[in-house]
Amino acid sequence: MSGQPADDVVVPHRRGSTHLMHGTRTTGHHFTVPLDHRTSDGETITVFAREYSSLDYDDDATADLPWLLFLQGGPGGRGSRVTQLGGWMKAAAQHFRILMLDQRGTGRSTPADAATLPLRGDAAAQAEYLAHFRADSIVADAELIRRQLVGAPWTVFGQSFGGFCTLTYLSVAPEGMDRALITGGLAPLSGPPDQVYSATYRLVEARNREYFAKYPEDRTTLTRIARHLEAIDERLPTGERLTVARLQMIGSFLGGNTRVDALHFLLEDAFVSTANGQRLSQVFLDAVWAQVSRSSNPLYALLHESIYCQGEASDWSADRVLAQHPQFLPTAEEPLLTGEMVYRWYFDQDPSLVPLRDVADLLAAKADWGSLYDTAQLARNTVPAAAAVYQDDIYVDHDLSMRTARAVKGLQAWETGDFHHDGISDDGEAIFNRLLGMTGWPA
């Protein structure tokens, strides 16, 4: 596991401007942190975080509020940009100053993408660099920032991959946490990535069946589009051909409560009559591209399988497990939509990822990933912790999540079928307040 910072390490910190907008106060913060936390005198990178607080509190009252760190989903997801407080942030701002982290490599932190990674050198050098971008390094960044900015323990709220990071935080630096809140993010504490994909293929298939039962005409439309793409060259806005495999990626809509219905509207727009016959509409092609391109978050594709690795290689796990689920193959008679799986062909078909193909292969073959969780520490955990575990989450399996919940002493799990993976986007205020209350707030 990446080394945690020594108690006496002080990181350079630059406070940015404060802005007021729609009842919200925001302040940017730039921190200089070690690339490798095991060698604090080595190379450094910048990590950016934005502070949000409510104008219901004046400056003096805000200064007295405890802090909450939000860890975004991903990997490769930057912190949310909001212009006013709503949802879970509205609820949190009643009690906390919120720090929204741009996890290393994302947003305004030192970037790691197809444009900047070549500065590291060849593919091997780039892969070595990216080995420092997992949850252990993100948590070490957060702990340095807490000591510099806050001092006292803070509340940590993690969504999805952010919940994985929160478990790592509980493992390696529980003294920095006042309480832990997790939504859709209880990761398996051990075992290969294959167990994750074996479960999620089953869940995504069930969600496909549920969706097509609700919108049976969309099954016909999707199959029609697939056959059309096999015969007709249709191009995405970035110029590459849309394949059936990339079309299947619009299954990302299936992970949401309300977003799933937006998939219906997308498929409604598929075809338009032209001088050359029926073709896919530009509206449809643009919307598909927005869902399937990884140009703005390549770390998601590069590191996604590594977030499950501890002492083993992923070896393109989703690709290998796919062989057991032929109904998801593009060549299937009625191909199903896929979920969060990352396939090797992404790095052949997505122009933004093509330059990173060799890097991705090296990361997939890496077998010496360090541990992300300390199961002994989790078993004696004393930090108040609560997690929302969604019964029908197609990205984070309920049964694997509950196995983890039982391994963390004192963690209270709220099992619910009312939400899918993006529950905090649907009713974040209620979910946040419930989890906060489960940890004994107010004390």
Which residues carry out catalysis? Answer: 160, 368, 421
Per-residue pLDDT of the chain (443 residues; tens, 9 = 90+): 556 666 666 778 999 999 999 999 999 999 999 999 998 789 999 999 999 999 999 999 999 999 999 999 999 999 999 999 999 999 999 999 999 999 999 999 999 999 999 999 999 999 999 999 999 999 999 999 999 999 999 999 999 999 999 999 999 999 999 999 999 999 999 989 999 999 999 999 999 999 999 999 999 999 999 999 999 999 999 999 999 999 999 999 999 887 899 999 999 999 999 999 999 999 999 999 999 999 999 999 999 999 999 999 999 999 999 999 999 999 999 999 998 899 999 999 999 999 999 999 999 999 999 999 999 999 999 999 999 999 999 999 999 999 999 999 999 999 999 999 999 999 999 999 999 999 999 86
Residue 335: what pLDDT? Answer: 96
Crossing angle for the helix pair 161-172 and 135-149, to the nearest 10 degrees? 70
Q: At what angle do helices 259-268 and 282-292 cross, to 10 degrees?
A: 140
In order of 72, 116, 191, 299, 308, the CA distances from 371 in angstroms are: 21, 28, 11, 20, 10
Residue 208: both structure tokens together: 């496909």
Domains belonging to the chain, first-starting first, are 13-190+373-438 (3.40.50.1820), 194-365 (no CATH)
Chain-centroid distance of CA 72 in Å reads 6
**Res 326: pLDDT:** 96
CA distances (Å), 441 to each of 89, 178, 288, 385, 406, in order? Answer: 16, 11, 43, 11, 22
- Rounded Cα–Cα distance for residues 431 and 433 (Å): 6
Indicate the burial class of 197 (C-beta count within 10 angstroms; 0-12, 13-18, 19 or more): buried
pTM beyond 0.85, yes or no: yes
